[in-house]
Structure 1
Amino acid sequence: MKPLSVKNLTMITAGKLVHGSDKVLIQYGAYRLKQVKKTNTALFTDKHIVNWKSLESLFPLVLVTDWSYSPKEIPSQVIIINVANVDEAYWKFVHFYRSQFNIPIVAITGTSGKTTTKEMIKHILSAENKVAATTLSSNSRTASLQYLLSIDDETEAAVFETAVGSPGDVKKAGKYFKPSIGVITNIGAHHLNYCKTLEGYIEAKGEMLDIIDPAGSLILNAEDVNTRKIDLSRFHGKIIKVGKHQSSDFRASDIRYHKNGMLFNVHHKKMSYEIFVPGFGEHQVYNALAAIAAVYEIGVPIPMAAEQLRSFRHLNKQLQLFEGINDSVLLDDTWSITTTSLEAALKVLNELGVGKKKIAIIGTITDLGSWGYTIHEQAGELINRIGVDVLITIGEHARIMADHAIDLGFSSHVYTFRNSTFVYKLLQNLIDENTIVLIKGDMYSKQIFELAAKLKVKTVPPAE
């Protein structure tokens, strides 16, 4: 955080200093008591703090509040700024802090690929710039303030994920970050327990159009069916499309699998460049296209972006390749699961598994609410269409996938389990040196996580 004096914060919030020195320097910010971790923090709260003893190690503490404290109950190292409305004061502070920095800020949303795309952008920009960014996929709305405050005078660019748990989440993030570049990687079906319908989820993702600077840029997947349903008429900035279609501003062609990654050509403004990106699957090409488009808008030439991408390390548990038990090959894709990412994973399994027995172990798709049955049926359709030699599902809802695939004519071996207790023993008998196994679930499924760990022997070394 760029330090701020109590005197300045008092003016920014239109408050009144009622206790303590106005010369204390603020170095951190918080809007919940549990977020206060260090001294010299400004806490915005309408709660009445009574147990000051437990906070002594965090003094001096600056309290921005609309609560009227008695001078006798306030410790000497607590500074009190009284305001008429804490919420209004908080947003005045947020808007002031963001206004201090005239730097490119990229905001990314999407059902799949947003963390990878964000990490690619960060990796490319970090070659010559100090970059602020969300940590891995930690994109909770409660973390937005801390990510904003990670920008300081040395920061030259920033890239943040703006996830959708509920409608309004992207707009709320926009109030903090005010991005100059927005990216929508794709839109599948997720978080329907709060967005209620797919249309509601698409609309929530489409909030990205409302938060980008009017003179900024919006980067879209040209071929994504649900992204095309967004009404772009309200966005008056620059629209950039990525994909394989001729209409794409950044177009990929000649996509092929290479050692530990993908090779492809990217075409832009009548020029062509060969790109290698670590990580398997055509979806990884789309992630790279979006990252290249974003950094190009910031001023990074495509050849420089391509050189940086070669050293990108794709994320753990995202189609990560291992040597598995019984000399098999294991694809660990247990970071998250949606129908979008499941389709991508099954395609990679089939590409890498040519001439091998292909086994898919699939867990439950979460955060679907009343849509759970329908989305798991859609997953079954994907399995039947793409195909595997052996299908194993773990969980009651995951069984819906298997049952629906069978109803559609899926004729390969199918095993369904309520939990993972007996799966490892089954796999010991099914797996040999001519087998490739995909295990697909999310990071919150302990049984999927533990099974993946048991199936691993060692990591396959990266390409030189």
Structure 2
Amino acid sequence: MIGTMSISAVSEYMPAALVGKDVSFSRVCTDSRQLAAGDLFVALNGENFDGNRFVAQVAEKHAAAAIVSEAQDVAIPQLVVADTAEALGWLGHINRKRSRANIVAITGSQGKTSVKEITGSILSQQFNVLVTRGNLNNNIGAPLMLLELEEQHQQAVIELGANAGGEIAWTAKITDPHIVLINNAAETHLEGFGSLAGVVQAKGEIIDSAPSTHTVVLNADDPNTRQWQERAGRRRCVTFALDASADYRAVNLTLTANGTRFDIESARGRIACFLPLPGRHNVANALAAAALCLEAGATPASIYDGLARVVAVPGRLCPVDGINNSRLLDDSYNASPSSFRAAIDVVAAINAGSQVRRVLIMGDMAELGSLTVKAHRDVGLYADACGFDELWSTGGCSELASESFGEGGRHFDDKDELINFAVDNMSANHIVLVKGSRSAGMDDVVQALRNKERI
């Protein structure tokens, strides 16, 4: 946090009643277990918890004050508001407005976390950078990241996620970015968005946060880009693409199991690059990050060095040494129909000799609504069409994929049964893709099947 802030500052943005004297603080905490003396405690509420219950506890730990939805009988000052999560957002916004850092904000249905990490890798070659940690990308996480902005930060990379319309409108508003990027829109979280059109609309909310003098970076390969360009109005739009005509293009791709060589071509010239991640889709993510960074002031040297130093993110098509000298690709963090196709394409493109056996270990995809049955069947059909030898599934819906896959498809009642079978059958000629939605917990399968001697 930059300097100190008074508890009453929030009242400039939302109705609030101060109980006790106005005090200052230099750190905000939402977890009573992590609170230190002098911190401001924000009592967040949810369906299954009430942060107000912990105010007495933080008072005993000498918190400076608390933001609450109901006044508590404690000695510390309190700011009473209708929505403590909104108050947290305004706290993050106040700190962001104090910062002189260039703020870039990233959203998209797929790849946004990879784009965030690659963007951070590039910008850190040249600037002091704050990058969103983990999945702190929602209405709670985004303001917590904004509160981490310090005087020394020159750039900030803020990831904005959503499960429903209106969420990005709020987090983008408090983030107030200088440059925004939409990586793509796909059929994810449909129970919250309703349809792909709902996803497109929601991702476009990030554009509305950018003043007319700021820049919008868009994926020209995404069929929805025209709609986002129209939404951008007079804002400056720049595009990137692997296939379509764009301001930034990736050309001369050479794909291997260990990474990809390619050139970035633009009006600025040509930049030769190496990305130590497999797959064409990772090149697309790297290109998105490079375009964003060049617009944010990065040099070609920073682009090259930043891409070369990218480290695979666990759960996102991360190469892992498997048991019995097999090769795992851990893509267990999340899943959607299009991300399944992209991951299958990566494994299918690996040139590992005629003896290799490609296996998909699949868990359920969540939040697909009426598309659930078709989406799972389509994964099995696509894996078969791309030359996979076997598909091992677990979960209530993934059995549809092992059935549509045909010969070589096998379903297991639970993950333990699947793991036991895999341990007995995986060998050095196996390349195994492990993927499913976060709720499927396929990271448990990865941990069970990795080569513990090489960790």
TM-score range, shorter chain: 0.7 to 0.9
Give the letter for the 1:58 counterpart: K
- CA distance in 2: counterparts of 1:308 and 1:48, whole angstroms: 41
Q: 2:429 aligns with which of 414, 431, 434?
A: 434
Distance apart, 1:415 and its partner CA:
0.9
* 1:276–1:199 CA distance, 2 compared to 1 (3 A): same
| Farther-moved stretch of structure 1 (417-426 vs 355-364) | 417-426
Q: Which has the larger radius of gyration?
A: 1
* 1:33–1:360 CA distance, 2 compared to 1 (3 A): closer
**3-state SS of paired residue (1:397):** coil
Uncovered stretches (5+) of structure 2, i.e. residues with no partner? 45-49
Please give the residue correspondences for 1:375-414 in structure 2 after superposition, counting only pairs within 5 Å.
Answer: 375-406=375-406, 412-414=407-409
Contact 1:10 1:16 in 2 (8 A): no
Give the letter for the 2:225 counterpart: R
Percent identity between the two aligned chains: 24
Give the letter for the 1:433 counterpart: A
Please give the residue correspondences for 1:111-260 in structure 2 after superposition, counting only pairs within 5 Å.
Answer: 111-225=109-223, 227-228=224-225, 230-235=227-232, 236-245=234-243, 247-258=245-256, 260=258
Please give the residue correspondences for 1:64-103 in structure 2 after superposition, counting only pairs within 5 Å.
Answer: 73-75=73-75, 78-80=76-78, 93-103=91-101
**3-state SS of paired residue (2:137):** coil
Please give the residue correspondences for 1:18-97 in structure 2 after superposition, counting only pairs within 5 Å.
Answer: 19-20=20-21, 22=22, 24-29=23-28, 37-43=35-41, 53-63=56-66, 73-75=73-75, 78-80=76-78, 93-97=91-95
Could you report, residue by residue, the CA deviation over 1:389-448 in whole angstroms, capped at 9, with x for unpaired residues?
A: 111121120122233444xxxxx42112232233234334543322222121244434x3
Give the letter for the 2:360 counterpart: A
Match of 1:281 in 2: 279
Distance apart, 1:115 and its partner CA:
0.8
- CA distance in 1: counterparts of 2:186 and 2:211, whole angstroms: 26
1:456 and 2:415 aligned: no
- CA distance in 1: counterparts of 2:53 and 2:156, whole angstroms: 38
**Aligned length in residues:** 446
Match of 1:409 in 2: none
Give the letter for the 2:230 counterpart: S
- CA distance in 2: counterparts of 1:10 and 1:334, whole angstroms: 40
- CA distance in 2: counterparts of 1:428 and 1:89, whole angstroms: 50
Give the letter for the 1:183 counterpart: L
**3-state SS of paired residue (2:410):** strand
Distance apart, 1:237 and its partner CA:
1.3
Give the letter for the 1:27 counterpart: S
- CA distance in 2: counterparts of 1:7 and 1:415, whole angstroms: 59
TM-score, scaled to structure 2: 0.87
Could you report, residue by residue, the CA deviation over 1:226-261 in whole angstroms, capped at 9, with x for unpaired residues?
A: x33634212121212111235111111111124621
Give the letter for the 1:386 counterpart: C
Give the letter for the 1:28 counterpart: R
Distance apart, 1:152 and its partner CA:
2.2
| Farther-moved stretch of structure 1 (338-347 vs 60-69) | 60-69
- CA distance in 2: counterparts of 1:435 and 1:82, whole angstroms: 59
- CA distance in 1: counterparts of 2:64 and 2:388, whole angstroms: 59
Contact 1:357 1:389 in 2 (8 A): yes
| Farther-moved stretch of structure 1 (183-192 vs 255-264) | 255-264
Distance apart, 1:460 and its partner CA:
7.8
* 1:425–1:81 CA distance, 2 compared to 1 (3 A): closer
Distance apart, 1:306 and its partner CA:
0.9
**3-state SS of paired residue (2:301):** helix
- CA distance in 1: counterparts of 2:253 and 2:35, whole angstroms: 48
Could you report, residue by residue, the CA deviation over 1:302-335 in whole angstroms, capped at 9, with x for unpaired residues?
A: 2321122211112112222233223322222212
Could you report, residue by residue, the CA deviation over 1:352-395 in whole angstroms, capped at 9, with x for unpaired residues?
A: 24421111111111122343223223423432432311111211
* 1:261–1:18 CA distance, 2 compared to 1 (3 A): same
Give the letter for the 1:59 counterpart: H
| Farther-moved stretch of structure 1 (427-436 vs 230-239) | 427-436
Contact 2:376 2:400 in 1 (8 A): yes
**3-state SS of paired residue (1:119):** helix
Aligned Cα RMSD in Å? 3.2
Distance apart, 1:28 and its partner CA:
2.4
| Farther-moved stretch of structure 1 (292-301 vs 319-328) | 319-328
- CA distance in 2: counterparts of 1:425 and 1:7, whole angstroms: 56
Contact 2:85 2:139 in 1 (8 A): no
- CA distance in 2: counterparts of 1:88 and 1:432, whole angstroms: 53
Uncovered stretches (5+) of structure 1, i.e. residues with no partner? 407-411
- CA distance in 2: counterparts of 1:397 and 1:220, whole angstroms: 34
Match of 2:47 in 1: none
Give the letter for the 1:451 counterpart: V
- CA distance in 2: counterparts of 1:115 and 1:5, whole angstroms: 31
Contact 1:48 1:67 in 2 (8 A): no
Give the letter for the 2:198 counterpart: G
- CA distance in 2: counterparts of 1:49 and 1:425, whole angstroms: 46
Could you report, residue by residue, the CA deviation over 1:99-135 in whole angstroms, capped at 9, with x for unpaired residues?
A: 2223221111112211111011111212232222211
* 1:51–1:181 CA distance, 2 compared to 1 (3 A): closer
* 1:86–1:334 CA distance, 2 compared to 1 (3 A): closer
| Farther-moved stretch of structure 1 (103-112 vs 349-358) | 349-358
- CA distance in 2: counterparts of 1:254 and 1:460, whole angstroms: 34
